[in-house]
Structure 1
Amino acid sequence: MRIYHYTDLNGLKGIVENHSLWATNFFFLNDSEELRHGIRAFRNALEYLSDDLNEKSINILKSEIIRFNMHRANHQYNISFCEEPDLLSQWRGYGATQGVCLEFESNELIESLFYGNAQVLSGPVIYTKPDSTLEAKKEIINFLRDEKLIKKIEVEPMYEIISAIDIVHKLPPFLKNDRFSEEKEFRIVVQPNQPYEDVKFRVNAYGVIPYLELKANENNMWNGRLPLKSIKIGPAKEKAFLWDGIKFLLQSKGYTNVTYSFTETPFRS
């Protein structure tokens, strides 16, 4: 699927010059309840699964979400994308600083990056109300009732624990407060096997922010570059002048086939 990364000109410059994207630690994102909301929704859902799962499975899930919260939650990183290429709420966030929207194909982008020893997940965000368990409950049941998984557990009972660990790691990072639903977010979630491995830090107006720099794999089919397809230029006074500079930057770094367009949103930045 096509996904879109909104950023400003400084962000674009860093992405193109370094052939990389930054994955920010979940607890330092704009949503102050990020990931805590997902863990809370997951734990709440377990209280309403007695009619759907046996007590053993529920207890395994309860133990794993506690372990995840204590030992792994602080070391989850996220790259945010959007499913829409010309969204007013995103331009409001970036328009005042010369915003641009970068288009990728999700599978190509995920394939192009180097992750080291980290685990990688991706997919659309599932928006839930703070006190709702319905969406989390549905996802847990669908995952654990998968026919292939059931057959594996029948052959090897230990696989039930393995599958519990799997869903606990996969679901909470994609559960988000529905107040943010207009963002239509798609995520690439990076879970390092070693907590502080390759972590970098930047400083912004709020403090020190931990992040991972994910570079394009040098041996990928895009010659060590990102599979950038197009750039949409946000609200700006001198659009043609802005594109001339962006085009010069792209061509100097080997991005010669990137198309461009201008926003149709009548937003005065």
Structure 2
Amino acid sequence: MTMKPTELVWHYTDGAAIMNILAKNELWAGSAAFMNDTNELLSGSIQLRKHFEDQRSALPEDVIVGLEQYIPEVRERSRHSFVLSASSDGDSLTLWRYYGRDQVSFAVGLDRNEPLVPLARLKEDTHPNPPADYDDDKYDRDEDGQIATHPEDGSPVVIFDPDSLFIEGGDWNPVVYDSAQQARIIAEIFENLRKGVEKRNSPSEPGRLRIWLFPYLMNESLDLIKNESFRDEREERITIWPNPDWKFVFHRPGPFGLVPYAKLTSLGGANHDVHEDRFATEPGRLPIREIRIGPTPYSAGAAASLKQLLQFHGLHDVKVSYSEIPFRQ
């Protein structure tokens, strides 16, 4: 993780959510497939497709076919991406208005240099209730459709174990609103994809297995691209991709059905494997350094009750502050 100067990112929320955050030491990262904004996490993919179309006439046909696999014409937000949003602005009128429509709202100041990891819902290492087709894509197959085996010992050739532990992302990153910076990101991703496809198509590439992870790791940069009209939010976000999903994905009711989400916590909690630092099995104290109370004519009472709640949870070192934006009735 690249260390940045000690600073806070601000997670805006309401009273019910902050009570849950303080009591359970967990933050909820929502599934990208269930975002309210129809273009959320899609802006980068839309731009990448347009860049691809602009370059198409200069590309060989076999490269075009390969790129179509990774740059689809119609892209859906990944159900495997989970997003936790915050802001670099701890006193944003835009965000106060969004979260403080009916009650006092809060901004939770988190130390961006303290890592957050997914909290496991199960401790097992293999799926406890796998469906019948769970292992269908696990093994490499020969031209006859039979599972390929290693010539040395006859063991099956595994392409991807669905139970393998694979966790990507987890750092705070600023959302990119600047169009010139977005264009540079898109051009770099496209060139990496093009070179990768050309390498895979090359007959000089030895061996039948050509594992190439870049297409699956490029999402973090793409997911940071957002329309510049949202610039005043100054959003910072964590995007995380945990595998296997049965181990890390929770569900809650929502307007679009049962919404998948991942719980993020700190590594200060218990873990059944003392050497594991990619996830936690019990929550640890979140790196909350300050909580700011949103604009309200009742700031004194709101502060008193918040300080009492912090004391009940032993969070005596968390600073309580107030929005400096004048309240208007």
Q: TM-score, normalised by structure 1?
A: 0.77
Choose between structure 1 and 2: higher strand proportion.
1
The code of the aligned residue for 1:210 comes to P
Bigger-Rg structure (1/2): 2
Structure 1 CA distance for aligned equivalents of residues 244 and 262 of structure 2: 13
Alignment of 1:122-161 (within 5 A): 122=171, 123-127=173-177, 135-142=181-188, 161=212
Structure 1 CA distance for aligned equivalents of residues 58 and 88 of structure 2: 33
Deviations 1:178-197 (A, max 9, x none): 33222111110121223454
Structure 2 CA distance for aligned equivalents of residues 255 and 56 of structure 1: 59
CA RMSD of aligned residues (A): 3.6
2:118/2:262 contact within 8 Å kept: no
5+ unaligned residues in a row in structure 1: which ranges? none
2:155 aligned with 1:106, yes or no? Answer: no
Structure 2 CA distance for aligned equivalents of residues 254 and 18 of structure 1: 13
Structure 2 CA distance for aligned equivalents of residues 137 and 62 of structure 1: 20
Number of residues of Structure 1 aligned to a counterpart in Structure 2:
253
2:68 aligned with 1:44, yes or no? Answer: no
Alignment of 1:111-260 (within 5 A): 111-114=115-118, 117=165, 118-122=167-171, 123-127=173-177, 135-142=181-188, 161-167=212-218, 169-204=219-254, 207-217=257-267, 218=269, 224-260=284-320
2:85/2:237 contact within 8 Å kept: yes
2:110/2:289 contact within 8 Å kept: yes
Offset at residue 205 of structure 1 (A): 5.4
Structure 2 CA distance for aligned equivalents of residues 86 and 233 of structure 1: 9
Structure 1 CA distance for aligned equivalents of residues 251 and 27 of structure 2: 14
Offset at residue 84 of structure 1 (A): 0.4
Deviations 1:29-71 (A, max 9, x none): 231222233322222222345799998877655422349947x
Offset at residue 81 of structure 1 (A): 0.5
Offset at residue 229 of structure 1 (A): 0.7
Q: TM-score, normalised by structure 2?
A: 0.65
Which residue number in structure 1 is paired with residue 146 of structure 2? none
5+ unaligned residues in a row in structure 2: which ranges? 1-6, 121-164, 271-276, 278-282
Structure 1 CA distance for aligned equivalents of residues 230 and 116 of structure 2: 29
Offset at residue 267 of structure 1 (A): 3.3
1:46/1:62 contact within 8 Å kept: no
2:118/2:263 contact within 8 Å kept: no
1:49/1:58 contact within 8 Å kept: no
2:75 aligned with 1:15, yes or no? Answer: no
The code of the aligned residue for 1:39 comes to S
Which residue number in structure 1 is paired with residue 90 of structure 2? 85
Structure 1 CA distance for aligned equivalents of residues 246 and 39 of structure 2: 22
Structure 1 CA distance for aligned equivalents of residues 170 and 60 of structure 2: 28
